[in-house]
A and B are shown apart, each in its own frame.
Chain A
Amino acid sequence: MSDIHELVQILLVEDNPGDVRLTQEALKEAKFRNTVHVVGDGVEALAYLRQQGKYSAATRPHMVMLDLNMPRMDGREVLEAIKKDPDLRRIPVVVLTSSEAETDIARAYELYANCYVTKPVDIDHFLQVVKSIEEFWVEIVRLPSQ
């Protein structure tokens, strides 16, 4: 676990550059040093996780922050693919989205999302939530060794 504490690898799957920036800003203020890798849609996310194409040298992330609504392949499909892949399914996936729809929440958990968080609109609240996510998954939760 000491490795994780040194440098937390986070894959942020998010198509909106504004949200990317806000999340990055929030993670900058986080407790643990981290590296955020950003991909813009589901296809790229799976390529990154499977180290395919231009991502052949990508590091395996400790956590995935996943938006739901994206072009090409949306977050639900990515979630399904990750949780079906025996190699990837242990990586915690945090669904971080603006959707409050009950159907989206239910669907995400049916596809084995590790947690579902709605992005708060208020910036202070947002920063707090993102930091909490990081703290929870890095410090509090015990995960299997890679």
Chain B
Amino acid sequence: MNLRPVRLPLFVRIAAGYGLILLVMLAIAALTLVRLREGASVADRLGREDAPALQAIDDLKVQIGNEQIAVNRFLLSSEVTPRGREDFLAPYFRSHDVIFGDLAVLNGLEGDSGSKELTTTLTGLRNQIQIVEAESDKEIAAIRDGASIEVANSMDFAEADAVRSLAAGIGDEVALSIRVSAADAQRSASESTRLVVIASVLGIGLSLLVAALVTVSISAPLGRLTATADRIAAGEMIEPAPSHRRDEIGSLSRAVTKMVQTLNQQAGELKRSNGDLEQFAYVASHDLQEPLRMVSGFTGLLKRRYAGKLDADADEYIEFAVGGANRMQALINDLLSYSRVGREEVAGKPVDTQIALDQALANLSTAIEERSALVSSGELPTVWANQGMVVRLFQNLIGNALKFCKAERPIVRIQAEARGAEWLFSVADNGIGIEAQYKDRIFMIFQRLHKQSEYPGTGIGLAVCKRIVERTGGRMWLESEPGKGTTFFFTLPATGGQQIAA
């Protein structure tokens, strides 16, 4: 399986997700609060008595009066000075400029507040001022052209008064509407602030609650399931606690429980049938020993006492009987030793494989000498196994290498290299080799590839080797080139705690 490794536990990722949501919420709340505070300060600025808008309105009224006074003085001056005294017009133009400034302030207010009523009222005021000023400009122009005061003074003071009172009215109206809207803005601002704070607190509380609920309802049961699975993996025959939840976690838990039950049942059956088989093999071979000893004992005695004393046929019969009994004896002994490898406790201990190899070579010393074989080894490690079994493993493999060799001088090389938590051993020979199609069959019990007369044996050696390796927690295989040689590979655990296959 090619799953991408998950680096963070689920609950951390859930917490991180909710943390992010929290951060975003906090940011939004903070931004909203800042904006509201700004709005409140605008309202505050508008609502003050000395607000620039109110000052502008007051000033506007004064300036319109001043304009009117200046125009009248100019008109009257024409009675004494022809075409009037231009210097009397200076206040008029000053006031005109000031009015322009005041209107600009009011325009700004209009933009700030966005109130429609205020816009209408201000437009009215601007129009009135324009009308009054246009009238004044006409009178000034007439005097300048030399017209008499009677002709020029077509405009009534009442008209300017009307403008003033309009301005005053507008001023009051504007002031009132400003105050009202300012109060509204302030109230709504503080209300919104409260709402934002309440919403934020609620939101934060809710997301914390949901995060806690998610953790409790997902992480906790998954954690329990994992702990149970770990214990099962360690070899305990237990089942996960039953779950009554109706959600996916419940389904998962029930599916796992069902799987574990099925596995436990199958494991139990396998163990039983395996045990039965072992028991059968042991008892059968053990109980076969007794009659076999009788057969081989008495045929042996017959041969010893009567060989050459009966006729040639009798001698031949006796020879066959003795030979058959001996082969059967060898088979039963091998069957017993094979079944013993399955029955014996592996009881792992640190085993120095160099010492085990030396022991195996000592047991094989006669065969090694007879064939003048060259057996060499690299640096060999300490593994976690059963000493006796490792000796037998080396002895069987090297014994085979010597036996299945046509070369003048058998050469066997034993090496080991570290592979993670295990050691990979290789036993290479220059023997006759094994054809590819037999490389699995060769490990089966009593499987032989050669005639008894060619290479004697029962075909148990490699089956025992494989069984020893597998019971110790390793694997075994071979690579071979017929005619050139064979290399057997096997792995053994470096340290204890490895699960031992039953």
Contacts and interface: CB of A to CB of B under 8 A. Distances in A.
B400 interface: no
A18 B298 CA distance: 8
A16 to B, nearest CB: 7
Main secondary structure of the interface of A (DSSP, over half): helix
Given A123-B304, A124-B304, A18 B297 contact: yes
A126 B298 CA distance: 11
B267 to A, nearest CB: 28
Interface stretch (B285-293, B460-468, B493-501): B285-293
B300 A123 contact: yes
Interface string B53-96: 00000000000000000000000000000000000000000000
Give chain B's interface secondary structure class: helix
Interface in B262-319: 289-290, 292-294, 296-301, 304
Interface in A100-131: 119, 121-124, 126
A122 B300 contact: yes
A25 B301 contact: yes
A16 B290 contact: yes
B289 A22 contact: no
A124 B297 CA distance: 9
A29 B374 CA distance: 44
B329 interface: yes
Interface string B329-342: 10000000000000
A51 interface: no
B329 A121 contact: yes
Contacts of A123: 296-301, 304
A35 interface: no
A16 B298 CA distance: 14
A98 interface: yes
A98 B300 contact: no
Contact of A98 (B293, B298, B301): B293
Contacts of A18: 293-294, 297-298
Contact of B292 (A19, A22, A121, A126): A121
Contacts of A122: 296, 300, 326
B323 to A, nearest CB: 13
Contacts of A126: 297
A78 to B, nearest CB: 20
Nearest to B299: A123
A91 to B, nearest CB: 27
A124 B300 contact: yes
A123 B318 CA distance: 14
Contacts of B290: 16, 98
Interface string A69-98: 000000000000000000000000000001
A22 B326 CA distance: 17
Contacts of B297: 18, 22, 121, 123, 126
Contacts of A22: 297-298, 301
Interface in A1-48: 16, 18-19, 22, 25
Given A18-B297, A121-B296, A126-B297, A98 B289 contact: yes
Nearest to A99: B286
Contacts of A19: 293
B399 to A, nearest CB: 21
A124 B298 CA distance: 11
Nearest to A26: B301
- Among B289, B296, B301, B329, max chain A CB count under 10 A is at B301
A122 B328 CA distance: 12
Nearest to B301: A123
A119 B293 contact: yes
Nearest to A126: B297
Nearest to A125: B300
Nearest to B333: A121
Contacts of A98: 289-290, 293
Contacts of B298: 18, 22, 123
A16 B297 CA distance: 13
A98 B286 CA distance: 9
A25 B298 CA distance: 11
Contacts of A16: 290, 294
A119 B298 CA distance: 14
Interface of A: 16, 18-19, 22, 25, 98, 119, 121-124, 126
30 contacts: A16-B290, A16-B294, A18-B293, A18-B294, A18-B298, A19-B293, A22-B297, A22-B298, A25-B301, A98-B289, A98-B290, A98-B293, A119-B293, A121-B289, A121-B293, A121-B296, A121-B329, A122-B296, A122-B300, A122-B326, A123-B296, A123-B297, A123-B298, A123-B299, A123-B300, A123-B301, A123-B304, A124-B300, A124-B304, A126-B297
Closest 8 CB pairs of A and B: A123-B300, A18-B294, A22-B297, A123-B297, A121-B293, A121-B329, A123-B301, A121-B296
Given A22-B301, A121-B296, 20 more contacts: A18-B293, A18-B298, A22-B297, A22-B298, A25-B301, A98-B293, A121-B292, A121-B293, A121-B329, A122-B296, A122-B300, A122-B326, A123-B296, A123-B297, A123-B299, A123-B300, A123-B301, A123-B304, A124-B304, A126-B297
